[in-house]
Amino acid sequence: MKIPLLAATLIALSCLPVAAQRIDYSKLEIKTTDLGHGVYLLGWQGGDSLILVGDDGVLLVDTSVSPMGDKIRAAIARVSNKPIKLIINTHAHADHFGANESLAKGGAGIVAHDKLRERMAKGFTAFNQAIPPSSPAALPTVTYADAMTLHFSGETVQLFHPLNAHTDSDTLVHFKRANVIHASGTIGGDGGYPFFDMGSGGSLAGMIVAENKMLSLVDDKTRIVADEGDPASTETLKASRDMLVTLRARVQKLIAEGKSEDEVVAAKPTKDFDARWVHPGNFVTGDAMTRLAYQSLKGTP
Ligand SMILES: [Zn+2]
């Protein structure tokens, strides 16, 4: 039981394509949290969005799933009467770009990594669900390869692409003045184990690189936005990076000893981490995390 085990438990994952989710979106409420300097977190226990409210417009990070578009628009209207000017999509999971078309209708530009546009234009499969090609109106209008800096209403917004981390299309979004980072799924939601989607080009090594990149940008007061839940602290980000580095070393050692995947799982290399990183309702258990690590290190997802 490798991928089937994970697939069966993926239902609780926020980063699932719409079709795989059994969620009644009409019942979801968006919780708006003021993070200061015009930045707000729009949380709905999925691919949470961030907005930056400027004098003449709004910058929106991630548009959620299509059925949430009107709620995102209403949540923005509660803090600003200005139009959405710019949209950033962090990665190719459908809860991060699903409402692009409706939210960009007023003329907003859409910024994303090259790979994200490529995947959206062609259509792709994530978590065994086919995502059809996006309509031209939903596609990013500006793409980049490694890094990009945007200047928006006095804020400097830096975009960084970590290679093969949560997916192969991730964008870390750093709001310098507000001291907020959108992690593009590279840290765990609600303080749980982080997840990487190997079927979409994610990897354990890339997650560590992404977390190290974020650690190079932070101070003690930085808020790091995961896909859901309250923003993580710098302490949590550091602990997550340390946990991933230790787990990689442990699993690597077991692989070098010739252990099979099931034997590595039986060795419980996450035993001392589970109390902190396993959360009720989160599909990434210690054993699931071990399987992800093993498969990523062996290159055999
Ligand atoms: Zn995701």
Residue stretches of the chain with pLDDT short of 70: 1-22, 301
Strands 223-225 and 180-182: parallel
90 CA from centroid of ligand 1 (Å): 9
50 CA from centroid of ligand 1 (Å): 15
33 CA from centroid of ligand 1 (Å): 21
14 CA from centroid of ligand 1 (Å): 7
Beta bridge pairs of residue 182: 173, 225
Q: How confident is the model at residue 12, as a pLDDT?
A: 37
- Residue whose tokens read 């699993």: 251
CB count within 10 Å of CB 262 equals: 13
197 CA from centroid of ligand 1 (Å): 8
Contacts of 9 (CB under 8 A, 6+ apart): 283, 285, 288
Contacts of 113 (CB under 8 A, 6+ apart): 91, 143, 144, 145, 161, 169, 170, 171
13 CA from centroid of ligand 1 (Å): 9
- How large is the greatest C-alpha to C-alpha distance in the chain, in angstroms? 61
Considering Cα of 162, then 165, then 170, then 171, what sign does the dihedral take?
negative
Q: How confident is the model at residue 222, as a pLDDT?
A: 98
77 CA from centroid of ligand 1 (Å): 26
261 CA from centroid of ligand 1 (Å): 25
35 CA from centroid of ligand 1 (Å): 22
Instruction: Give the residue from 97, 90, 37 showing the smallest Cα distance to 65.
Output: 97
Q: How confident is the model at residue 15, as a pLDDT?
A: 60
Considering Cα of 182, then 223, then 227, then 9, what sign does the dihedral take?
positive
For the chain, count helices (H), then strands (E).
9, 14
Q: In which order are the strands placed within the sheet that holds 223-225?
A: 147-152, 155-160, 172-175, 180-182, 223-225
Question: What global pTM score does this model have?
Answer: 0.93
CB 283 within 8 A of CB 7: no
Nearest-angstrom CA–CA distance, 63 and 41: 12
Beta bridge pairs of residue 149: 158
Q: How confident is the model at residue 21, as a pLDDT?
A: 55
